[in-house]
Structure 1
Amino acid sequence: MDESTLWGLVHAERAALAEDLAGLNQTQWDSGSLCTEFTVREVVAHLTAGASLGPARWMAGVIRCRFDFDAMVAYRLAQQLGADHNETLERFRRAVTSTTKAPIPVAAVLGEAIVHGEDIRRPLGIRRDYPIATLTRVAEYFHRSNTTVPSGRRARGLRLSATDGPFSAGAPDGAPVSGGTLALIMAMAGRSAYGAELTGAGVAAITGTE
């Protein structure tokens, strides 16, 4: 896929998430996410921050926080929280069609939209029927990359195969892991909760539960 097509997928995922967020109550906004350090509201602010930082501002934040990337994430997140959850959502809505990003591939931005969308939806019992082409593109990227999460390292030496789409990758003689494409993505992203949706001798390895 070219960058224009990938940006279209990013914008579609952000828009779908904004629609799901519109119906949340205060308790849900304040509840925990699968990104365990953050509440639902904080994950949304984090996504907004990511869509608001070009390379120059991203590097300025890194320098300001003395290359402490966790501190930089917290600093930028706080800037996008707003006064309440309504403002948090409004800021995210304004970022839906943004093509601003840190110096990472657009495929990584798409991966973050999927993973953080699930970080929010899964604990709240919200289900999204993701386009399989979008999930396949993210799975392919995660399998060969360690840019934003060490997904490639988690999948190393394993043979991954999707049961709901065309994604298949890894060592022919590797320990097998099979399941839905979304579950494979989330496992590569370090969300062990999705291990229950996977089967094969390599599940414990990819979920870090060996």
Structure 2
Amino acid sequence: MSNAVSRDELWGLVHAERAALADDLAGLSAAQWAQRSLCGDWSVEEVVAHLTAGASTGRFRWLISVLSNRFDFGKHNDRQLAAHRGSTPAETLERFRAVVGSTVAPSGHTAAWLGEVIVHGQDIRQPLGLPRKPSIEAVTEVARFFASRDFTVPSHKSIQGLRLEATDGPFAIGDGPVVTGPTIALTMAMAGRTTYCDELTGAGLPTLRGRI
């Protein structure tokens, strides 16, 4: 796959991944909605509300929220989450479905917002044992973005001096001790999800695991 992916194509991938996640959420029980995700202390429902907030908040509203919370990004995220969470899980899902096709985002880094739905989608699916994985096309774009810079997580810093090679797609980057595995596992590891290190192998894995 070429590196030259247009913004419209990236948004198409975002919308497809949101729709797939919404479909996966449709059959969850109350206990599953309350299940703790891989994203800190947030439950599955809270992660979904967070995704809705991100797809509903443009740059200006994001800046106002950050300023009003005195650059406390944890408080900013919690308040945004609460504002977009429904009174029931069904309402939370309905609100998420309403933004599946949104192109609203706090910044123009479209690959980052593709990463948002892919990473948080797996934050939900992995603890629930849901088998669906994002498309290789979408995950490859996120892996490339994460490897190129530190955005919301120190993904670039975590892989410095290492060589990452996907076993199921074209993603490969860096020089040094090798870390190999599925593209989604490499991506989730760069996003700081240590549990995905169990799906990786190679001489560079102890270094990567230690950094995240």
> What TM-score do the two structures reach when normalised by structure 2?
0.95
What is the deviation of 1:88?
0.5
**Equivalent residue for 2:177?**
175
Consecutive unaligned residues in structure 1, runs of 5 or more: none
Q: How many residues align?
A: 208
What is the deviation of 1:130?
2.6
**Equivalent residue for 2:193?**
191
Q: Distance in 1 between matches of 2:200 and 2:210?
A: 13
Q: Distance in 2 between matches of 1:129 and 1:49?
A: 23
Q: Is the 8 A contact 2:57 2:105 kept in 1?
A: yes
**Equivalent residue for 1:22?**
26
**Equivalent residue for 2:42?**
38
What is the deviation of 1:104?
4.5
**Equivalent residue for 1:152?**
156
Q: Percent identity?
A: 54
C-alpha distance 148-209 of structure 1, shift in aligned 2 (>3 A): closer
**Residues 107-146 of structure 1: CA deviation (Å, up to 9, x unaligned):** 0000111000000000000011432111111111110121
Q: Is the 8 A contact 2:161 2:174 kept in 1?
A: yes
CA RMSD of aligned residues (A): 1.2
**Residues 81-117 of structure 1: CA deviation (Å, up to 9, x unaligned):** 1111011000000010000000240000001110000
Is 2:132 the partner of 1:122? no
> What TM-score do the two structures reach when normalised by structure 1?
0.96
Q: Distance in 2 between matches of 1:76 and 1:206?
A: 32
Q: Is the 8 A contact 2:158 2:211 kept in 1?
A: no
SS in 2 for 1:161: strand
Q: Is the 8 A contact 1:192 1:208 kept in 2?
A: no
Q: Is the 8 A contact 1:191 1:207 kept in 2?
A: no
Consecutive unaligned residues in structure 2, runs of 5 or more: none
Q: Distance in 1 between matches of 2:208 and 2:72?
A: 27
**Equivalent residue for 2:82?**
78
SS in 2 for 1:32: coil
Pick one of 177, 200, 206 that aligns with 2:202: 200
